[in-house]
Amino acid sequence: MTSFYDLKTHTLTGQPFDLGSYRGKVSLVVNVASKCGYTPQYKGLQSLYTELAPRGFVILGFPSNDFGGQEPGTAEEIKTFCELNYKVTFPMFSKVVTQATEGQSPIYAWLGRGGDLPKWNFSKYLIGRDGKIVAFFPSKVAPDAPELRQAIEQALK
C-alpha cells in the first residue's frame, strides 16, 4: 500500500469503510480518548473541521485505549460522549491499537512506517491529498497551534 487512502477500516458503528473515499482531501488522523488530559482538544479539532471542511479537509478520529486505559468506553459511549460534550461531527472510526504490538491496526502500522507512532493520545498525522504523510505532531500540539495550522494550509494549497 503506497497511500493512506488505499486502507480500509470500520466506522465507529462497526460498518466497513474504505478510506479511499477521502482520496484527494487533506486528512488529519488523530488517536483520541475520552478520559485524557488532552480530551479538550476535541473542541479545537471540531473548530478546524467546521472551518476547513469546505476546502477539502477532514479529521479522522480513531479512539484508542492504548495509553492509561483512557478510552474504555463502547462505541456507543464514545459516540455519545463526543456528541454531547464537544458536538463532534467529523468522522470517527472503531477503536484501534496504535502501538506496534499484537493486534496493531493496519492504519497505524502504515502510519508508523514513517517512523512515528503515538506516544500518547491525540497524536496527529497530516495526510496530503496524495495519501502520503506530510507531518506528524505529538499530543501537546493543540489543534490551534501555528505549526499545525501552517502545515494544514500548505497541504490545502
Active centre residues (catalytic): 36
Residue 124 corresponds to which amino acid?
K
8 Å CB contact between 144 and 43: no
E strand intervals along the chain: 8-10, 16-18, 26-32, 57-63, 124-127, 133-137
Q: To which residue does cell 497530516 refer?
A: 126
Torsional class of 68: left (φ above 0), alpha (ψ -120 to 50), beta (otherwise): left
**Taking CA 94 as the corner, what is the angle to CA 44 and CA 131, rounded to the nearest 5 degrees?**
70
Helix (H, G, I), strand (E, B) or coil at 135: strand
8 Å CB contact between 55 and 88: no
Residue 3 corresponds to which amino acid?
S
